[in-house]
Amino acid sequence: MTLSHLSSIISFFLFTASISGQKLYTPTLSLQREGVLRDPERAVSASIADDFETFFFNQTLDHFNYRPESYTTFQQRYLIDSRHWGGANSSAPIFVYLGAESPIDGSPTVIGFLRDNAAQFQALLVYIEHRYYGESIPLGMSFEEALHETNIRGYFSSAQALADYAAIIIHVKQNLKARDSPVIVVGGSYGGKLASWFRLKYPHLTVGALASSAPILYFDDITPQDAYYSVVTKDFKEASETCYQTIGDSWSEIDRVAQEPNGTSNLSEMFKTCKPLESGDELKNYLMSLYAYAAQYDDPPRYPVTVICNGIDGANTTENGILGKIFAGVVAYKGNSACYVNPPTNVSQTDLGWGWQVQYTLDHI
């Protein structure tokens, strides 16, 4: 979907709000990586450190229960860019980015869509950090401590996050006396789920939601559990039938080699692993993640899926057969490196928290 198409959607949301005949009274009473492409005709300066103000909201720990600890509060971070805002008197819109499974720090630069459209719509931009990430962790705990403490971990849910966003949106509009400024919430992937759910659960607070790449139907008994990897498989098959077939044959070949004497050592040597493999499954998990990431972010002009398949199809290898071709695909994608597979990594909050996010997301169904 192009930026011009998305802009027309925003225009529709705002037009609908303006002709509804009802003022937007506020009653009393959450997808990132580098190298995201930007529309050069709309893109603004990437130097944005001075464009945003950082605020902290005194957020309620538990929005839904009435136990004594429910009234505990914590500081939740949000960012505001008001450079292009037309102001409350003009009922200029407010675009709210709902933070997902990572700290909010990089969102203003990576999520270019809001900034690229702010001037056209004279919009206020608000980015809200999801509870338990970045600087929005309850009770002064570290992220690890909050996840380890069972009672505190229970508040790490999508429903609580949505209520957080509602409270901050109300707070911002009250502070700016922007009662009549329509709000559009925006999110991607899990954040897109949050945006769509927010529109359903809090329709009095937002006139629309942009839910980019949001797997809103990806739940048991709605979408098959293998649907994601079916799409990944389709991407590779469309790129190259022989590449697709080689990858398909490689799984049983990895199992076969792993079961041989010194099998995992041989696999470690074939794939130049950064540390010895403990099992064939470890290698298979790495490859599945690599293929999935390449398919999910199959960006032009590089097109990672094609890069991997060109490496596999173009491999001139006889010694290691199918697995030699698979390794050639890894090298084509990763480039020359001292080692591949299981490299040392810094575990991020996303890595630690996503498993719990997936589990607690189900509370909203």
Cα distance between residue 344 and residue 11, in whole Å: 47
DSSP code, position 130: P
- Among 3-12, 62-71, 84-93, 332-341, the minimum mean pLDDT is found in 3-12
Local confidence band at 19 (pLDDT 50, 70, 90 cut-offs): very low
Cα distance between residue 169 and residue 165, in whole Å: 6
213: alpha, beta or left? (left if phi > 0; alpha if psi -120 to 50): left
Of 237, 8, 281, the C-alpha closest to 120 is 8
pLDDT at residue 78, rounded to an integer: 97
pLDDT at residue 335, rounded to an integer: 95
Beta bridge partners of 125: 81, 95
* Strand bridging mode 53-60 / 183-188: unpaired
CB 15 within 8 A of CB 121: no
Cα distance between residue 131 and residue 137, in whole Å: 6
Q: What is the DSSP string of 221-248?
A: TTS-TTHHHHHHHHHHHHH-HHHHHHHH
Residue 173 neighbours by CB distance under 10 Å: 21
pLDDT at residue 294, rounded to an integer: 95
pLDDT at 253 over 90: yes
Residues 6+ apart with CB under 8 A from 85: 92, 118, 122, 123, 124
Cα distance between residue 353 and residue 125, in whole Å: 26
pLDDT at residue 42, rounded to an integer: 42
Q: Which domains does the chain have, with CATH numbers?
A: 3-216+353-364 (3.40.50.1820), 227-334 (1.20.120.980)
pLDDT at residue 220, rounded to an integer: 73
- And the tokens for 193? 């789920």
pLDDT at 37 over 50: no
Q: What is the mean pLDDT of residues 204-216?
A: 93
Local confidence band at 147 (pLDDT 50, 70, 90 cut-offs): confident
Local confidence band at 341 (pLDDT 50, 70, 90 cut-offs): very high
Which burial class, exposed, middle or buried, applies to 159 when counting CB atoms under 10 A from its CB (0-12, 13-18, 19+)? Answer: middle
Local confidence band at 233 (pLDDT 50, 70, 90 cut-offs): very high
Local confidence band at 44 (pLDDT 50, 70, 90 cut-offs): very low
At 286, which amino acid appears? Y
* Strand bridging mode 183-188 / 208-212: parallel
Measured N-to-C along each axis, helices 280-296 and 241-258 cross at an angle, to the nearest 10 degrees, of 160
Distance linking the first and last C-alpha atoms of the chain: 27
Of 198, 75, 219, the C-alpha closest to 140 is 75
Mean pLDDT across the chain: 85
Local confidence band at 210 (pLDDT 50, 70, 90 cut-offs): very high
Q: What is the pLDDT of residues 258-271, one digit of tens each?
A: 999 999 999 999 99
pLDDT at 358 over 80: no
Q: What percent of the chain has pLDDT over 70?
A: 81
Cα distance between residue 69 and residue 61, in whole Å: 8
Q: What is the mean pLDDT of residues 306-329?
A: 92
pLDDT at 360 over 90: no
Q: What is the mean pLDDT of residues 80-98?
A: 95
Local confidence band at 49 (pLDDT 50, 70, 90 cut-offs): low
- And the tokens for 227? 């649907």
Cα dihedral 216, 217, 220, 224 in deg (nearest 10): -130
Report which of residues 311 and 141 the model is more confident about: 311
Q: What is the mean pLDDT of residues 225-238?
A: 92
- Among 39-53, 290-304, 311-325, 334-348, the minimum mean pLDDT is found in 39-53
Cα distance between residue 202 and residue 293, in whole Å: 33
Cα distance between residue 248 and residue 175, in whole Å: 58
Half-sphere exposure of 229 (CA within 13 A, CB side): 11
pLDDT at residue 224, rounded to an integer: 87
Say what the pTM is. Answer: 0.79
